[in-house]
């Protein structure tokens, strides 16, 4: 397969855009900078032969779920193109964010049920996101144990259901990328093992 031309200038602009938007936001768990999480997702996309557009989408794949994220829709289209925006849109939960278990399950189930309709680009970005997200959960659990679940409105088994369901559908709908699919399966297995102890 010939190597794609990677647009470093456009990618740098996307890094700045993402950093400026997410600013000092911290991720859940060990409270590392959220931007470092997004950078890791984007790096994984690049390392798995992702295009410039896919790598850029990885830098703000969940921006539409943020409070002021939808206001950035036109900016994303103008600066980075409709393809990037469509990938981001397909990676996003389509229902308004609400902090309770029933709405969380509803949103996640809708995403899982619609995976067969998503583009291969959005599935690639999504699986890299889910792998890194599950990596973080497992690493945090190894560091602080069951404290990870304290003050969380979800039960650990909710996460296990979610990632196991995602893994099943990535195997079904994402073409190629066996390495990524195998990695996600190993992570799901490890999470299941942790929750039994």
Give the predicted TM-score (pTM) of the model: 0.92
141 vs 97: CA distance, rounded Å: 25
**What are the φ and ψ backbone dihedral angles of 92, each rounded to 5 degrees?**
-95, 150
How much of the chain exceeds pLDDT 90, in percent?
A: 70
156-195 confidence digits (pLDDT tens)? 999 999 999 999 999 999 999 999 999 999 999 999 999 9
Highest mean pLDDT among 69-83, 112-126, 134-148: 112-126
Q: How far is C-alpha 121 from the geometric centre of its chain's CA atoms?
A: 13
67-117 confidence digits (pLDDT tens)? 888 889 999 999 999 999 999 999 987 555 555 556 888 889 999 999 999
Domain ranges within the chain, ordered by starting residue: 8-196
Task: Report, as an integer, the average pLDDT of 20-28.
Answer: 87
36 vs 144: CA distance, rounded Å: 20
- Look over the chain and give the mean of its residue pLDDT values, rounded to a whole number: 90
Judge residue 197's burial from the number of C-beta atoms within 10 Å of its C-beta, 0-12 exposed, 13-18 middle, 19 or more buried.
Answer: exposed
Judge residue 185's burial from the number of C-beta atoms within 10 Å of its C-beta, 0-12 exposed, 13-18 middle, 19 or more buried.
Answer: middle
How much of the chain exceeds pLDDT 70, in percent?
A: 92
Quote the pLDDT of residue 23.
Answer: 86
Q: Which of 135, 122, 110 is CA-nearest to residue 174?
A: 122
Cβ 56 vs Cβ 43: under 8 Å: no
**Is the domain 8-196 a CATH 1.10.1060.10 member?**
no
Give the least confident one: 31-35, 44-48, 130-134.
31-35
DSSP at 33: B
């Amino acid at each position: 397969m010939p190597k794609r031309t990677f647009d470093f200038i456009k990618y740098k602009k996307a890094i700045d855009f993402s950093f400026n938007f997410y600013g000092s936001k911290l991720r859940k768990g060990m409270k590392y900078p959220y931007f470092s999480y997004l950078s890791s997702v984007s790096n994984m996309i690049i390392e798995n032969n992702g295009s410039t557009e896919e790598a850029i989408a990885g830098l703000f794949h969940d921006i539409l779920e943020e409070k002021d994220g939808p206001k950035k829709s036109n900016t994303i289209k103008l600066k980075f193109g409709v393809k990037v925006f469509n990938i981001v849109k397909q990676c996003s939960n389509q229902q308004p964010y609400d902090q309770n278990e029933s709405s969380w399950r509803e949103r996640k189930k809708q995403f899982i049920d619609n995976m067969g309709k998503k583009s291969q680009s959005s599935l690639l970005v999504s699986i890299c996101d889910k792998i890194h997200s599950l990596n973080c959960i497992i690493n945090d659990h190894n560091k602080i144990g069951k404290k990870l679940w304290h003050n969380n409105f979800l039960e650990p088994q909710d996460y296990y259901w979610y990632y196991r369901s995602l893994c099943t559908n990535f195997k079904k709908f994402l073409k190629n990328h066996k390495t990524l699919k195998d990695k996600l399966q190993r992570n799901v297995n490890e999470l299941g093992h942790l929750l039994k102890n």
